[in-house]
Amino acid sequence: MNSRKLLSETRRTFPAPKAHCQQPSRILVVDVTSPSWANTCSVLCEALENTLCLACGLAGPCRVPLLSLYVVQPQQECLLPFTQVKENFARIQACISELRLLPAEGSFPQGGSGVVQAVQDGLQQFKQYSRHTAAGGSTNSSVEITVLTSQSSKEMVKQLEKKLKDVDLVSLRRLQVIEVLKRDFLEPEDVEQCVPAEEPSSSDIAILGMDIDVQTVEDNVISLEMLFKTWLHDYGTEREQLHLLLPLGGFSHAAAPKSTIMCLKCDLQERLLDPALLSGPADGTGRAADPSSPWHVAAWPATGLHKLRVVKALKSEGVCESVLYGLPFIIKPTSCWQLDWDELETNQHSFHALCHSLLQRKWMLLARHEPQNTNPNWNTVVHSYYVIVPSDSATLLVKAVAIRELLLPSAFPALLAEHPEHIRGPIESALNNLEVEVAYNPLHLKSNLYKYLKSSLYKPPHRQQAQPREQRPERHQPKQPQSRAKAAVAPLLMAPSPLQTFRPAAARRDSCERSPLPREYDEFLQ
């Protein structure tokens, strides 16, 4: 069990962080010196663009607040300095277009310490960026770094462990090394494990208490897309999100005394993205989940502590699917860093025992949602009810269940036992022509949502109005010829702020060698 209790002291200094500040900033380091870069490039760019269009299109707080992208070829180069993801999809799309146009395999020699230098440079940039943004009232105190490579992850971890011993890692929440493998190199039993889980297995290497997560992933769009989609989960671990209250001594119709209540501390995780959050405007002003509503449990953003009091046990075969509604959520043992290690371990074992017992008995649980904040002016509290379903994994599924007030009458006739042959025959023939799958796989269905989001988020550049000379931003560097990649994406790079402009690749490389902070920040902060 990895409780992630060792967090930065910087995060502890903010007593009431906002939801968007709980999400770490992201640094993606892409190693393009690998022999298989030509095969990986297209699928990586498509997966990254798909995930980021979701992050930009979702209403509410941004789930990926800041993003920076480095390439190693063999020296590190910052293609995208720290950029706010929200409302910057055109700039991110231009960066991905430049990544697509990098030379193919064989153009760069392997080896060297470019990845380590990129990690160090990214940490230094984040440190300076955080210092200046904190002065303006905005706080984002942690960062996660993902290294994507086709080289040996073991060798990469050894280099990182050796070079980062003397580096200040207080703001680093997690360092992840992802080894991208071709299907030819995957063993048959590893193919089903190539899609990353939310909590990938960690290596036994720790730097100042921070584990380096090592993982392998297959070089296809779906696997890489699922890897990047873990960025969309809620990363707030300041407190647990759900208390599951169980009466000790067996279930009873009467409410158990408070002293006989067992409390399992849990976290909530979304199983699906709410489509309603994608139906609003692209600027994020669409409808977000209302945490004060009694009709749902909101896992994002985690604005308060939910309490579900178990009132009954239900036979699994006795629950009709027609009375379940709303989006499902995953319940898992909490990873709150404020809890003691022994309490975390006991809580996790109790949770696993509950899952095992429910599976053995073939039971579900009926739970009542307790109000978070009772308004003294309210004479009546409205309760919602939920069904908690066990699974083979160490998680529970929770879904809202209908109550008397919401239920509509359904007097349907019974199913006829026999049908005329001239009616039954065509139906049987039609069913026989259908392709049959053993299980439903949502990865086999696409709705063109990515294409729709990309077209709606893309804002064509508009011609800037002429500014007085004294209002124009100063440029301290000489004009340099554009690279082939820059010329291809130049129409997308027009923006009114120096923070929203790219420099030619040569200039960026020089600035990375001179100073860890890109020139855009220097001009912006003056």
pLDDT tens, residue by residue, 360-403 = 999 999 999 988 766 666 678 888 999 999 998 999 999 999 99
**72-86, 312-326, 449-463 — which one is most confidently predicted on average?**
312-326
Query: In the prediction, which pLDDT does 64 show?
Result: 93
* pLDDT tens sequence across 185-208: 544 444 444 444 344 344 445 554
Mean pLDDT of the chain: 76
> Mean pLDDT highest for which of 26-40, 85-99, 119-133, 275-289?
85-99
Note the pLDDT of residue 192: 43
In this prediction, residues 457-466 reach a mean pLDDT of 60
Task: With cut-offs at 50, 70 and 90, classify the pLDDT of residue 494.
Answer: very low
- Lowest mean pLDDT: which of 151-165, 399-413, 448-462, 497-511? 497-511
In terms of Cβ atoms closer than 10 Å to its own Cβ (0-12, 13-18, 19+), residue 286 is middle
Percent of the chain with pLDDT over 90: 43
Task: Give the pLDDT score at 524.
Answer: 40
> In the 3-class helix/strand/coil scheme, how is 377-420 assigned residue by residue?
CCCCCCCCEEEEEECCCCCEEEEEECCCCCCCCCCCCCCCCCCC
> What pLDDT score does 485 carry?
40
Q: Which CATH superfamily is domain 25-186+206-232 in?
A: von Willebrand factor, type A domain (3.40.50.410)
The length of the chain is 526
Q: In what order do the strands lie in the sheet with 210-218?
A: 76-84, 66-72, 25-31, 143-149, 172-181, 210-218, 202-207
Query: What is the dihedral sign for C-alpha 498, 502, 506, 508?
Result: positive
pLDDT score recorded for residue 159 = 85
User: Averaged over 408-428, what is the pLDDT?
Assistant: 89
The terminus-to-terminus CA distance of the chain in angstroms comes to 47
Residue 511 has pLDDT above 80, yes or no: no
Cis preceding linkage at 301, omega within 30 = yes
Q: What angle do CA 294, 298, 301 make, to 5 degrees?
A: 135
C-alpha to C-alpha distances, 423 to 387, 435, 490, 522, nearest whole angstrom = 39, 22, 64, 77
Alpha-carbon distance of 50 to 44, in angstroms, equals 10
pLDDT in tens, 74-123: 778 999 999 999 889 999 999 999 999 887 654 555 555 788 899 999 99
How many CB atoms lie under 10 A from the CB of residue 520?
20
- The Cα–Cα gap between 404 and 323 comes to 11
Residue bearing tokens 């790219």:
502
Q: What are phi and psi of 242, to 5 degrees?
A: -145, 135
Residue 275 has pLDDT above 70, yes or no: yes
For CATH 3.40.50.410, the residue range(s) in the chain are: 25-186+206-232
The answer to whether 59 and 285 are in contact (CB under 8 A) is yes
More confident residue, 232 or 280: 232
Strands 143-149 and 172-181: parallel
User: Which pTM was predicted?
Assistant: 0.75
pLDDT tens sequence across 324-337? 999 999 999 999 98
Which pLDDT band holds residue 464 (cuts at 50, 70, 90)?
very low
